[in-house]
C-alpha cells in the first residue's frame, strides 16, 4: 500500500468488539438475498462492515455472494491509493472488488453533496451490471445522530427526523439500501478492527470543520456533555421512524381505498375525503401522490420540501365554496383543485417526454413510467387498430398526448381536466391518434382492457 495513505491500527481499550453471536443477529435479515453490493471506502466503518460480513457469511454458511464497490472521486491525491488498499483487503478476504471512477469535470461548490450523488449513480450502474439486489452501507449510530441534527436544523417534520432507515427500498438513485450497523456505536467498529488486527484509512476531511457534518459531530459531543448523548438522540430518531411507519400504514390504506388512479397516469381523490384526515396524514398522502404521478422526474422516494407541501395543503383547504378552483405545480406535477376533486397529473414541463418511433423497437421504457413491448397479441391488436384507422403505413410513434394529433372523446370529460393528461402516453400513426390508455379516441372504439394489451402501464423498478 502507498505510504501516502494514512493506515491506522490504533491501540487502547475503547469499546468491546462485536462478537460472533451479535454479528449473526446484525446480519440475519440478509439471508433472503442472493447477491449484494457492499460499499467500502477504506475508512474504519466500511472496512469493519466488510470484515463482519465475511465473518457472518462463513459462520452461517450463507450461499449468496457480494461484491465490494469503492468509488474513487478523484478529489484528493490519496483516493487512488485508498482504493488500492481496499482492493488488497478484499483480495486477502476472498471478496470480489471493483473500483468505480468519478470522471469528468468536478464541482467547485457543494462538493460533498455532488460527490454523494455521483457515488450513488456509480453504485447503481455497477449493481445493474452485476445484477446486485441491494447495497450495504456502513452508516452507524453516530451517522444517524448527525443526520437527525442536520434535519433538525432544516426544520424537518416526523419523516425527516426519522433520519435513515435500516432497510430503505427507495434510497438514492432508486437503490435498495441496507444499513445493518445503524444502531452500532462507531467505537465498537474500531474496537472490532483492532481485534481483527485490521488497519484502515483516515480521511482528513472528517476533521475539516468547513463541512457541516463535522460541525454537527462536534455539536453532538457538546450535547453529550450535557447529558443528551448519542444513544438518546439515536433512540429519538428511531421513535420518529416508528411514528412515520404508523403514518405510512394509514396513508397506504387511504391510497388503496380513496385514491383513483387512471391508466393514463393521473390520480384523483375526493376533496371531502382528503379534508377529513389529520394534517400530518394529508401531507404524507400528498407526498405519495406527487412522487408516484411525478415519477418521470426521478426515482420515487426523493424527499419533497415540507414547506411546499404545507402550502399546497393550505390551498386545498382554503378553496372557497364559491371559487372556480385553482391549479398549482409541484414535483413535475400539475395539481387541479375544485370543490369536488383533487386531481394530479404529470406536467408537460420545460422538457416534454420523448417521442419515440416504434417501428423497429422491441422494448422501451418511456418517461420512467411506461413500458412498450413489441410482439405477439399486442402487435396483432395494434394492426387491427391501424386497419380501422386507415392504411397509414409505417411511422408508429409513442409520445405525450399533448404533442399527439387527434382528440380524446368528450365522454371522458369526467376525468379530462385541462392539463391533467398532457403528459399521458399516446400512440399514433401519421396524423391519426390511435390509443391513449383508459381514454376513448375520437373515431375509434378502444376499450381500456384492449389498451392495456398494447401499452402496459408500469410502475418501474428503480434503476
Contact status, residue 358 vs residue 429, Cβ threshold 8 Å: no
Position 86 scores a pLDDT of 97
Contact status, residue 90 vs residue 83, Cβ threshold 8 Å: no
Q: Which three cell numbers stand for residue 231?
A: 444513544
Q: Where are the alpha helices (DSSP H) in 61-100?
A: 79-93
What residues are paired with 357 via a beta bridge? 397
Per DSSP (E only), the strands in 380-438 are 396-400, 425-429, 432-435
Predicted confidence (pLDDT) at residue 94 exceeds the cutoff of 50: yes
3-state DSSP assignment of residue 357: strand
Q: What are phi and psi of 101, to 5 degrees?
A: -100, 130
Contact status, residue 385 vs residue 377, Cβ threshold 8 Å: no
What does pTM read for this prediction?
0.73
What is the spatial distance between Cα 359 and Cα 26, in angstroms, rounded to a whole number? 52
Contact status, residue 411 vs residue 438, Cβ threshold 8 Å: no
What is the spatial distance between Cα 241 and Cα 293, in angstroms, rounded to a whole number? 25
- pLDDT one-digit tens code per residue, 251-301: 999 999 999 998 888 999 999 999 999 999 999 999 999 988 987 776 555
> How many other C-beta atoms lie within 10 A of the C-beta of residue 61?
6
Burial of 226 from C-beta contacts in 10 A (0-12 / 13-18 / 19+): exposed
- pLDDT one-digit tens code per residue, 228-260: 888 889 999 999 999 999 999 999 999 999 999
> How many other C-beta atoms lie within 10 A of the C-beta of residue 233?
22
Mean pLDDT of 410-420: 62
- pLDDT one-digit tens code per residue, 421-444: 889 888 888 888 877 877 777 655
Q: Which three cell numbers stand for residue 220?
A: 453532538
What residues are paired with 398 via a beta bridge? 356, 427
3-state DSSP assignment of residue 373: strand
Amino acid at each position: 500500500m502507498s505510504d501516502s495513505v494514512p493506515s491506522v491500527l490504533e491501540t487502547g481499550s475503547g469499546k468491546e468488539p462485536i462478537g460472533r453471536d451479535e454479528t449473526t443477529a446484525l446480519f440475519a435479515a440478509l439471508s433472503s438475498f442472493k447477491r449484494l453490493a457492499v460499499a467500502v471506502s477504506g475508512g474504519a466503518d466500511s472496512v469493519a462492515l466488510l470484515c463482519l460480513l465475511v465473518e457472518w457469511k462463513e459462520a452461517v454458511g450463507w450461499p449468496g455472494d457480494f461484491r465490494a464497490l469503492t468509488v474513487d472521486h478523484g478529489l484528493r491525491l490519496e483516493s487512488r491509493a485508498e482504493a488500492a488498499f481496499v482492493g488488497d483487503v478484499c483480495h486477502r478476504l476472498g471478496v470480489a472488488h471493483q473500483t468505480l471512477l468519478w470522471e469528468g469535470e468536478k464541482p467547485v461548490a457543494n462538493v460533498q453533496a455532488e460527490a454523494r450523488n455521483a457515488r450513488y449513480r456509480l453504485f447503481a450502474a455497477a449493481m445493474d451490471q452485476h445484477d446486485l439486489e441491494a447495497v450495504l452501507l456502513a452508516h452507524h449510530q453516530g451517522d444517524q445522530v448527525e443526520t437527525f441534527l442536520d434535519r433538525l436544523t432544516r426544520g424537518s417534520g416526523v419523516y425527516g427526523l426519522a433520519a435513515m432507515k435500516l432497510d430503505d427500498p427507495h434510497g438514492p438513485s432508486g437503490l435498495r439500501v441496507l444499513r445493518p450497523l445503524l444502531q452500532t456505536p462507531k467505537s465498537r467498529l474500531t474496537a472490532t478492527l483492532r481485534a481483527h488486527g485490521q488497519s484502515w484509512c483516515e480521511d482528513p476531511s472528517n476533521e475539516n470543520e468547513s463541512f457541516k457534518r463535522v460541525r454537527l459531530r462536534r455539536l453532538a459531543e457538546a450535547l453529550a456533555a450535557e447529558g443528551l448523548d448519542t444513544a438518546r438522540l439515536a433512540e429519538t430518531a428511531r421513535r420518529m421512524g416508528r411514528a412515520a411507519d404508523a403514518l405510512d400504514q394509514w396513508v397506504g390504506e387511504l391510497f388503496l381505498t380513496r385514491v383513483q388512479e387512471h391508466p393514463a397516469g393521473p390520480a384523483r381523490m375526493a376533496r371531502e375525503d382528503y379534508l377529513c384526515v389529520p394534517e400530518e396524514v394529508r401531507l404524507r398522502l400528498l407526498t405519495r401522490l406527487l412522487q408516484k404521478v411525478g415519477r418521470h422526474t426521478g426515482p420515487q422516494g426523493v424527499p419533497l420540501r415540507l414547506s411546499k407541501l404545507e402550502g399546497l395543503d393550505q390551498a386545498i383547504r382554503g378553496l372557497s365554496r364559491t371559487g372556480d378552483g385553482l391549479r398549482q405545480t409541484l414535483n413535475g406535477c400539475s395539481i387541479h383543485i375544485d370543490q369536488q376533486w383533487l386531481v394530479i397529473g404529470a406536467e408537460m414541463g420545460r422538457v416534454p417526454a420523448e417521442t419515440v418511433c416504434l417501428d423497429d423497437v422491441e422494448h422501451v421504457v418511456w418517461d420512467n413510467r411506461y413500458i412498450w413491448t413489441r410482439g405477439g397479441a399486442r402487435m396483432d391488436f395494434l394492426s387491427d387498430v391501424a386497419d380501422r384507422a386507415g392504411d397509414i403505413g409505417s411511422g408508429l410513434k409513442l409520445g405525450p398526448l399533448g404533442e399527439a394529433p387527434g382528440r380524446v372523446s368528450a365522454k371522458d370529460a369526467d376525468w379530462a381536466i385541462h392539463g391533467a393528461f398532457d403528459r399521458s402516453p399516446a400512440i399514433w400513426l401519421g396524423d391519426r391518434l390511435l390509443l391513449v390508455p383508459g381514454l376513448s379516441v375520437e373515431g375509434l372504439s378502444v376499450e381500456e382492457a384492449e389498451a392495456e394489451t398494447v401499452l402496459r402501464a408500469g410502475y418501474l423498478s428503480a434503476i
